[in-house]
Amino acid sequence: MKQMAAVPQPKVAFFCMEYGLDESFPIYSGGLGILAGDILKTARDLDLPMVGVGILWSEGYSDQFLDQNGFPQHCRQTYDRSHLEDTGVTVSLWLRGEEVTCKVWKTEAFGNAPLYLLDADFPGSPHGWITRQLYASAPQERVAAEMVLGIGGVRALNKLGFNPDIYHLNEGHAVFAGLELIREKMSRGLSFDHAWEEVRLQIVFTTHTPVMAGNEEHDHGLLKHMGAWAGLEYDQVARIGGDPFNMTVAGLRLSYIANGVSALHGATARAMWRGNPGTAPIINITNAVHVETWQHRLIHQTYNVQGNLWKAHLQVKKKLLDEVQNRTGVALDLDVLTIGFARRAAAYKRSGLIFHRPHVIEPLLKTARSSWSFRVKPILRMIGASRLWPTSRKWPTSSQTAWCFWRTTTWPWEDCSPQAAMCG
């Protein structure tokens, strides 16, 4: 019987603004980067023909701590670069009327598929500001970095000789890659509409943020000034992203299929963007994690030998609570339900939502004392970890509310110091 030939797997280039591969390589801020890092590790485990494209951020995201009033203080991060390989490749793009050159570095040091990182902050470069800090707040800096990622990333792959079948744009930061691909096809004689149609067959898009405030928009005057139109005309770019130019809408119109990151988020995303004609269908692909990265070795070993997982869990939990006590002086009970909350402190992430009904949550958190002074344990405890944008000097109102609530529900009943708020 004649066997069918195996269908070759598509070559994929995964574009993302940040990658969380390891704490020692802090070119990420939160969940978007962690997901991207886990995807590249899984691609390596499965031997998939996939590469990542990102930016080599000079300063990392920043080390942060809270002062005794709950306000963030920031310290510049430095990190070891010895694992980076200089590919010898450079790419150029025009930005604000100047030619910007980026070096291309590569790393596979963390069990990941090849990750190529563009860098404008090398010795002698006058454009180091572009790749100095992840998610710079100034609009020109943000657009410049997104141009390096999208336009520069496509050009880097061309020079490296990696010809993707699929460009996976992880969130809207990378959508200028789509404009560059259209420009390339038009330079070979295709009309704009024909080029756009062909590019859509090469792009998939992941949308993450389920509230409008977290989806970037840019004024077309700014994009024209920066050179972000990538050689296209205003009416062409506006057809893709609208006016103002919405990065998420552009991603949905540049792709043939898109996905949300859970079943509920997929439904939310479809409802959010259904009023924009010409967008890709949004399916659900639930986020997962790279097990070897995130599962404690003791849990893994115990499961493999069919041991007592609850005992192993308590051993690992004790290590966490010991670390909390070492950092804060606060001793937490091993047998109290403990919830960890670790999210970047942005208002749209609604970190104070769990405290929205104080009469429900407050009794669960309090440690009371009876009339005989016997201590009564709370039903649950929460351990919070969070980060602000490096340029921020105060918490979003929801996060500040959460921190203040923690104080009022903990300090009257526990022998705690202000350092207890510094767990993150």
Domain spans, the chain: 12-284, 295-422
CB 266 within 8 A of CB 284: yes
Which of 4-8, 78-82, 193-197, 309-313 has the weakest average pLDDT? 4-8
pLDDT for residue 327? 85
* pLDDT tens per residue across span 34-89: 999 999 999 999 999 999 999 999 987 777 776 777 677 777 778 999 999 999 99
User: What gap in Å lies between CA 103 and CA 87, rounded to an integer?
Assistant: 8
Residue 369 pLDDT level (bands cut at 50, 70, 90): low
Which of 99-103, 184-188, 393-397 has the weakest average pLDDT? 393-397
Q: Which fold has domain 12-284?
A: Rossmann fold (3.40.50)
At residue 152, the 3 state secondary structure works out as: helix
User: What gap in Å lies between CA 166 and CA 115, rounded to an integer?
Assistant: 16
Mean pLDDT of 164-187: 98
Residue 5 pLDDT level (bands cut at 50, 70, 90): low
Task: Say which residue, 321 or 356, is predicted with more confidence.
Answer: 321
Alpha-carbon dihedral 354, 356, 359, 360, rounded to 10 degrees: -30
* pLDDT tens per residue across span 223-251: 999 999 999 999 999 999 999 999 999 99
pLDDT for residue 231? 95
> Model pTM greater than 0.85?
yes
pLDDT for residue 408? 46
Angle at CA 109, nearest 5°, toward 286 and 146? 60
% of the chain exceeding 70 in pLDDT = 87
Residue 282 pLDDT level (bands cut at 50, 70, 90): very high
Task: Name the packing angle between helices 297-304 and 309-328 (round to 10°).
Answer: 170
User: What gap in Å lies between CA 6 and CA 52, rounded to an integer?
Assistant: 25
User: What gap in Å lies between CA 409 and CA 421, rounded to an integer?
Assistant: 12
Angle at CA 253, nearest 5°, toward 153 and 31? 60
pLDDT tops 90 at residue 222: yes
Which of 329-338, 343-352, 359-368 has the weakest average pLDDT? 343-352
